[in-house]
Amino acid sequence: MSRYALVGTAPDFEHRFGTAASGSLEGQIHVWNDGALPSEPHDIFADLHNPGLLDVVVLGPGLPREDSLRLATAFEIQRPEISVLLVAQPSSDVVLSAMRAGVRDVVDPAVEISDLSVLLHRATKSTSIRRRTAASSTDAGAGGAEGRIIAVVSPKGGAGKTTVATNLAVGLAETADHAIVIVDLDLQFGDVASALQLAPDHSLVDAVRLPAQKDSMVLKSFLAPHPSGLYALCAPDSPAEGDQVTAEQVSRLLDQLASQYAYVIVDTSPGLSEHTLAALDRATDFVFVGGMDVPSVRGLRKELDILRELGMEPLSRHVVLNAADPRDGLTQRDVEATLGTKVDIMIPNTRAVRISTNQGVPILESAPRDTAAKALRRIVDRFAPAQSAASKHRARHRRG
């Protein structure tokens, strides 16, 4: 159940807000009744019995803009996990000022109830993700902490998504031993088991059944251990078995794993299947993987646009181009112009990658000095930079 704080709202908007916050969004709505606008988050928390559970703060309509933005900035500094919505006419100046103040969304005072529900869903999800990310970064691997769920996605097959996912898992395993699990969510043609040279006795189909749902020890018995220290939940051998798995089961499984492991790496199926969308809805981080060719780049642009329309924009997004070779006629600048966003990591096309794939040994283990391996290492560093640095220091010490 979510908790909302409405500050300075008009009676009509307050009524529509209560209607929009129904169903899965239903929760406690606290209305600020004091005539003066609170100057600090503490003023709002003082009226709440349990301020730690506050999810969304709504400012407006009718409040002085500068005062609202000042309060939004205070929330961004003092309680950044709480989503703040500003009710105002969404002009370009207002939207820009709101973004700088840390406002999650600008809401038109005349917004339709259905649209307001979408905005509230995004806001509550954002709060949940921020809290989960903060918990995992400060207490990774500790009992009761929720881990980060990293979804590795691509609009098309053959882009190297599994290569990125498995190497990311192996790299993180160096920094958090026995705290990493990789989930193969390509239930028809997943090949995480092949990429890690595993022969698992169980698959994801076993993990979503009732005994595993009720007991985490049963769930862990279905995970395949890898020599690097990570665990893998592999796809079933038969594509027909994957049809038995529902999106709801995927969501429940990822929540269950995140409560037990510091990092959950999800290798999704190409495109936006119901299983992939369920994973993206639970993910704290998205890693987009595309190839260095026109169809792949255009497909990635469409995927980004669709997720934006669905309100499924993550707090942490990483764009990776695989098998990059400027001699193929496309440059990084060309790709960024098409995508409308920057490319974070370029993985060069090297022979060592193909060898590692055929051998079933991630390149971070088989050829760590290869240029592609160094690019993949930079992806790992985006999630655990401090630990990766320590790991490299220990490796240098061993070589010495």
Side chain identity, residue 115: D
Region of 338 (left: φ > 0; alpha: ψ -120 to 50; beta: rest) is alpha
Give the pLDDT of residue 400: 33
Give the pLDDT of residue 138: 53
In the chain the domains, ranked by start, together with CATH numbers, are 2-135 (3.40.50.2300), 140-399 (3.40.50.300)
Closest C-alpha to 282, from 316, 247, 251, 318: 251
Q: Structure tokens of 256?
A: 């269950």
Q: What is the pTM of this model?
A: 0.64
Q: What is the mean pLDDT of each run of 10 residues along the chain (400 residues)?
A: 82 89 86 75 74 80 87 86 91 85 89 91 82 59 66 91 95 87 94 93 91 86 92 92 90 92 94 92 92 89 88 80 78 87 90 91 94 94 61 37
Identify whether the C-beta of residue 318 lies closer than 8 Å to the C-beta of residue 350: no
Give the pLDDT of residue 49: 60
In degrees, to the nearest 5, what angle opens at C-alpha 55 toward C-alphas 143 and 150?
Answer: 50
108 CB-near residues (< 8 Å, 6+ apart): 87, 89, 90
Identify whether the C-beta of residue 362 lies closer than 8 Å to the C-beta of residue 195: yes
